[in-house]
Amino acid sequence: MQTQTLSSHAPAAYGNNSIAALAKMGEVWKERAQVKNEEFEVEMMYSDVYDDFLDRLIPFHQHPRYGELGDEMRTKILSSGWIAYNEKTIDIETKIISPICNEIIYGTLPGTHDETIKWLAAQTLTDEAYHVLMVINTARMARTQRGLLDLRLPSFDLVNKIELEAAKYSENWQKKIVRACACIVSEVFISDYLSLLSDADGVQPINRITTDAHRKDELAHSGIFRHLTKEIVRHLTPRELAFFAQMLPRPMRWFASQELSVWETILQQLDYEHTKEVIGDIRAEAEVALFRVDFSELIELAEETGLLDTPEGCDSFQAEGLLEKVTVQ
Ligand SMILES: [Fe+2]
Ligand SMILES: [Fe+2]
pLDDT digits (tens, 9 = 90+) for 271-299: 999 999 999 999 999 888 876 778 889 99
How many angstroms separate the alpha carbon of residue 221 from the centre of ligand 2? 5
How many angstroms separate the alpha carbon of residue 26 from the centre of ligand 1? 16
Q: How far is CA 172 from the centre of its chain?
A: 23
How many angstroms separate the alpha carbon of residue 84 from the centre of ligand 1? 16
| pTM, entire model | 0.91
Q: Residue 219: nearest ligand to its CA? A: 2
pLDDT of 113 above 50: yes
pLDDT of 7 above 70: no
3-state SS assignment for residue 95: helix
Q: Residue 132: nearest ligand to its CA? A: 1
How many angstroms separate the alpha carbon of residue 221 from the centre of ligand 1? 8
- In DSSP terms, 72 is beta-bridged to none
Query: Which residues surround the ion ligand 2 when the cut-off is CB under 5 Å?
Result: 218, 221
How many angstroms separate the alpha carbon of residue 218 from the centre of ligand 1? 6
How many angstroms separate the alpha carbon of residue 183 from the centre of ligand 2? 9
pLDDT digits (tens, 9 = 90+) for 317-327: 999 988 875 54
Q: Residue 90: nearest ligand to its CA? A: 1
How many angstroms separate the alpha carbon of residue 127 from the centre of ligand 2? 7
Which segments of the chain does DSSP mark as H helices, in order? 17-32, 42-45, 64-67, 71-91, 98-105, 115-145, 157-167, 172-198, 205-234, 238-247, 250-255, 260-269, 275-285, 296-304, 311-319
pLDDT digits (tens, 9 = 90+) for 143-197: 999 999 999 999 999 999 999 999 999 999 999 999 999 999 999 888 888 888 8
How many angstroms separate the alpha carbon of residue 131 from the centre of ligand 1? 5
Fold observed for domain 17-319: Ribonucleotide Reductase, subunit A (1.10.620)
**What does the domain layout of the chain look like in residue ranges?**
17-319
- In DSSP terms, 288 is beta-bridged to 257
Give residues with Cβ within 8 angstroms of 64, minimum separation 6.
none
For residue 328, what pLDDT is reported? Answer: 40
Q: Residue 123: nearest ligand to its CA? A: 2
For residue 244, what pLDDT is reported? Answer: 98
Q: Residue 194: nearest ligand to its CA? A: 1
For residue 147, what pLDDT is reported? Answer: 96
Query: Which residues surround the ion ligand 1 when the cut-off is CB under 5 Å?
Result: 128, 131
